[in-house]
Amino acid sequence: MKSGNSVLSSYGTTIFEVMSRLASQHGAINLGQGFPEGLESERLLGSVSQLMTDGPQQYAPMMGVQELRRAVATHSHRFYGLDIDPETEVMVTSGGTEALADCLFGLIEPGDEVVLIEPLYDSYLPILRRAGAVPRLVRLSPPEWTLPKEELAAAFGPKTKLMILNSPMNPNGKVFTESELAFIADLLVKHDAYCVCDEVYEHQVYDGLRHIPLMTLPGMRDRCLKVGSAGKTFSVTGWKVGHVIAAPHLLQPVAKAHQFITFSTHPGLQIAVAEGLRWDDEYFIGLTRGLQSRRDRLGNGLSAIGFDVLPCAGSYFISADFRALAKRKGFVGDDTEFCRLITMEAGVAAVPVSAFYEDGGVRDYVRFCFAKTEEILDVAVRRLSEYFS
Ligand code: PMP
Ligand code: GLN
């Protein structure tokens, strides 16, 4: 029998699926895969159930329903002062993951180089390799996750087509500062490169910090493709409604990939997301505030147990060094084994941070998702505390 594509076949099953399956087999609380529980808005669910009955039920326009494209453009102006043309600069996708794949398939030529920062979301490397690009990886390391500017500059070269930048960052919760963004912007201009900006956690930024889209920096409007996800903004990851914002010369080739991959996304879900994006600031402030207090609740609980919890400025996730606890328990093993152990023995699933590195090089940290009800977080902390006491 002939084999499947060698690039994609070389990857195992994604860690998010692996840990979620293990959690369900063992009845564990799932703080592994990043999905919210108990944060979904009743208002949005009400609208969508009405739309499911009333329709539309057929294919949406390829670029997305007009209402949602307009709402995305208005949202970008309201939060970031961006002037976006909803007719030519917004495309709706089936989730942020599809948006990212469309950007890579739409822009990459075989042999192009792509600069990426580790730790990274697991879809980037397989897709860009399948598109024929060569990755140039720059590593951020715990506990500081400082951007190594010289290494980043050295990763750029004449073959660099684009960079992928994820801020707020999964899994480490880093939010890039304005000066880091300015440094990246200079490199992009110097090397005439584009940036795919994965900003799906744009409304998950804490402690009074502000999310700054790279696209808002001088010279970046026509070089950036800004990716968003309603899954994160409205706590409905199963809906898989995302979008890309980019200047027409960038969006056109990306739309070619989209038209042959999914073509369009559920129209009722799009209309409901458009409604949500039009809500007043109270919703967005409330979302951030609620998540920040959950971050602190889980972080304090984990620290009290003996995890060395790292700071988290954004996203759904906190990561923690488990070495002190492992020692206490006489456990010898890496982060993947530790995650399996706590899922099966303590009844709480997490995700190993090594899964976000190509060579799995960082092995002493695990990632917990705090986008859960306070009750779920408290039970998780209690279970871990009992297990390690
Ligand atoms: N980028 C990052 C950094 C993510 O963590 C995720 C997944 N949650 C996505 C993109 C994809 O978002 P979606 O679920 O909308 O496909
Ligand atoms: N982005 C989510 C996470 O980091 C998971 C997405 C997925 O399961 N593909 O947990």
- Among protein residues, the one with the nearest Cα to ligand 2's atom 9 is 16
Residues 6 or more apart whose CB falls under 8 angstroms from that of 163 comprise 114, 115, 116, 156, 184, 187, 188, 193, 194, 195, 196
Confidence of residue 8 (pLDDT cuts 50, 70, 90): very high
pLDDT tens digits, 81-101: 999 999 999 999 999 999 999
- Among protein residues, the one with the nearest Cα to ligand 1's atom 8 is 34
Whether residue 47 has its Cβ less than 6 Å from ligand 1: no
Whether residue 242 has its Cβ less than 6 Å from ligand 1: yes
DSSP bridge pairs for 227: 198, 244
Residue 360 pLDDT > 90: no
**Do 235 and 371 meet the contact criterion of CB atoms below 8 Å apart?**
yes
Whole-angstrom distance between the N-terminal and C-terminal Cα of the chain?
Answer: 53
**Do 47 and 275 meet the contact criterion of CB atoms below 8 Å apart?**
yes
**Do 189 and 157 meet the contact criterion of CB atoms below 8 Å apart?**
no
- Among protein residues, the one with the nearest Cα to ligand 2's atom 10 is 34
Atom of ligand 1 nearest to the CA of 241: 15
Confidence of residue 349 (pLDDT cuts 50, 70, 90): very high
pLDDT tens digits, 242-286: 999 999 999 999 999 999 999 999 999 999 999 999 999 999 999
Cα(79) to centroid of ligand 2, in Å?
25
**Do 164 and 196 meet the contact criterion of CB atoms below 8 Å apart?**
yes
Which of 200, 237, 315 most suits a substitution to test ligand 1, by most atoms within 8 Å of the C-beta? 200
Confidence of residue 162 (pLDDT cuts 50, 70, 90): very high
Whether residue 317 has its Cβ less than 6 Å from ligand 1: no
pLDDT tens digits, 17-66: 999 999 999 999 999 999 999 999 899 999 999 999 999 999 999 999 99
Alpha-carbon distance 145 to 140, whole Å? 5
Please report the DSSP string for 275-331 in residue order.
Answer: HHHTS-HHHHHHHHHHHHHHHHHHHHHHHHHT-EEPP--BSSEEEEE-HHHHHHHT-
State the residue for tokens 């990274």.
120
Residues 6 or more apart whose CB falls under 8 angstroms from that of 126 comprise 7, 8, 11
Residues 6 or more apart whose CB falls under 8 angstroms from that of 235 comprise 36, 39, 40, 41, 287, 371
Confidence of residue 163 (pLDDT cuts 50, 70, 90): very high
Alpha-carbon distance 139 to 123, whole Å? 17
Alpha-carbon distance 100 to 299, whole Å? 30
Alpha-carbon distance 92 to 96, whole Å? 9
Whether residue 64 has its Cβ less than 6 Å from ligand 1: no
Which of 93, 117, 232 most suits a substitution to test ligand 1, by most atoms within 8 Å of the C-beta? 232
Whether residue 168 has its Cβ less than 6 Å from ligand 1: no
Residue 361 pLDDT > 90: no
β-pair type (224-229, 194-198): parallel
Mean pLDDT computed over 118-141: 98
Cα(366) to centroid of ligand 1, in Å?
18
Residues 6 or more apart whose CB falls under 8 angstroms from that of 292 comprise 206, 207
List C-alpha distances in Å: 32 to 52, 109, 355.
31, 35, 12
Cα(97) to centroid of ligand 1, in Å?
6
pLDDT tens digits, 215-249: 999 999 999 999 999 999 999 999 999 999 999 99
Alpha-carbon distance 9 to 261, whole Å? 19
pTM, rounded to two decimals: 0.98
- Among protein residues, the one with the nearest Cα to ligand 2's atom 8 is 16
Residues 6 or more apart whose CB falls under 8 angstroms from that of 273 comprise 68, 71, 230, 234, 239, 241
- Among protein residues, the one with the nearest Cα to ligand 2's atom 2 is 34
Residue 167 pLDDT > 90: yes
Cα(159) to centroid of ligand 2, in Å?
30
Q: What is the pLDDT of residue 309?
A: 98
38, 40, 41, 46 alpha-carbon torsion, rounded to 10° = -110
Q: Which tokens sit at 240?
A: 């898989």
pLDDT tens digits, 188-203: 999 999 999 999 999 9
pLDDT tens digits, 302-332: 999 999 999 999 999 999 999 999 999 999 9
Q: What is the pLDDT of residue 216?
A: 98
Residue 178 pLDDT > 90: yes
